[in-house]
Amino acid sequence: MIKDFTYELPPEKIAQFPLKERDSSKLLIYNKGKISHDIFRNIAGIIPENSLLIFNDTKVINARLKFQNPAGKEIEVFTLEPEGNTELVTALSTKGSVSWVCLVGNLKAWKSGTLTTSRIFNGTECRLEAELISKQADAFLVKLSWQPEELTFAEILEIFGQIPLPPYMKRDATPDDMTTYQTVYSESEGSVAAPTAGLHFTHGVLDSLKKNNIKTGFVTLHIGAGTFKPVKTDSISEHDMHSESIYIELSLVEEIAVNIGANRIIAVGTTSMRTVESLYWFGVQLIQGRHKGGELNITQWEPYENEPEDPAKAFQAIISYMKQNNLKYLYGKTNIIIVPGYDFKVFSGIITNFHQPQSTLLLLIAAFIGSDWKGLYEYALNNDFRFLSYGDSSLLLK
């Protein structure tokens, strides 16, 4: 029951701003049941040598677009994902107009018609229009059109958009958030939220990992707004998990295959963990002959409805599949939900922030370390740790 995964989170414990130095945040260490703490910049000396850290290199887009109706009422269009199954890279490089699934703030002020805003950029007037097309589940399909048409949608978001801070940050985004709400290694545009475990890393910390013989690898999972959606049903089994786009390169699949049996693969964040565990289940599909071609697709309950396979064989199956099909990377969608009772196949550790009560992220942590999550969170609350996106970090080693 979801009520078993809640705790009292005082508002003053939620970090509203980042620390001036990313790597000066506190680091809670959970190692085989024992709790201690340190400073994040020392993490390379705490992680076991020869570990493989897997990061999510997604980049947050300026997903919040602000318009005004003829009466001057503000309406926010929050871009979630492109219509249909269009790849994000393709959708962001589109010119002239796009149709995206969006959340709409102050919908009652958008009676009908087209909303328009304009801005001068590099000496040229840019004009952006939004047209409400249709209702889609708990979101809307919105057509966005712009001038000059030769600009890509990614450029339009850079010109008109604002960085989408989480709803629990009760403030507007500042120019500093454009930098601080991105990881230093962010590369692939497409997320509407940051992979916050990575916000603590600096180039200095990354260099210290290399010096300590700790390998690094990168996946891409584009985080959707559903990451902030609490589980509102009494039973976890009734919660509908959001879908997110993932990319994994062949070289990383091969690196995982080399390290899979050594108990030394550590996820940097819940998104990296969900991506690679989804990848394992794709290998299971291949072994069991359940993959019918096309993109990787992992449904919410895939791990709980199918028999597992040996992890080493699963990753070898993926390598064979990619080589046979001349694929340098895999693209697809995952709805996987990781809840207590899940049997992790890849990871022996995770670096992660402190998550909201009754969230799917907290369920993942509870799945990884069991009921010890309660003592860990109590320790953090009692020792002035900062919570959520701009908060402090933890290293959890099984």
Cα gap 22→387, rounded to integer Å: 14
pLDDT 10s digits, 275-321:
999 999 999 999 999 998 889 999 999 999 999 999 999 999 999 99
Please, which residues have CB within 8 angstroms of residue 199's CB and are 6 or more apart in sequence?
18, 22, 180, 181, 183, 389, 390
Structure letter (DSSP) for residue 200: G
Cα gap 61→78, rounded to integer Å: 11
- Rounded mean pLDDT for each run of 10 residues along the chain, 398 residues in total: 89 97 98 95 96 97 94 93 84 94 92 90 94 88 96 95 91 93 96 96 98 97 75 75 91 97 94 98 98 93 97 98 97 94 96 96 96 97 98 96
Predicted confidence at residue 84, as pLDDT, reads 82
pLDDT 10s digits, 137-170:
778 999 999 999 999 999 999 999 999 999 899 8
Q: Which amino acid, 274? A: R
pLDDT 10s digits, 108-135:
999 878 999 999 998 999 999 999 999 8
DSSP per-residue codes, 201-235? --HHHHHHHHHTT-EEEEEEEE--GGGG----SSS
Predicted confidence at residue 347, as pLDDT, reads 97
Whole-number average pLDDT of the chain: 94
| Alpha-carbon 85 to chain mean position | 19
Cα gap 341→230, rounded to integer Å: 19
Q: Which of 337, 335, 333, 338 is nearest to 246 (CA)?
A: 333
CB-CB contact of 271 with 361 (8 Å): no
Structure letter (DSSP) for residue 42: G
Interior CA angle at 97 toward 93 and 99, to 5°?
A: 90
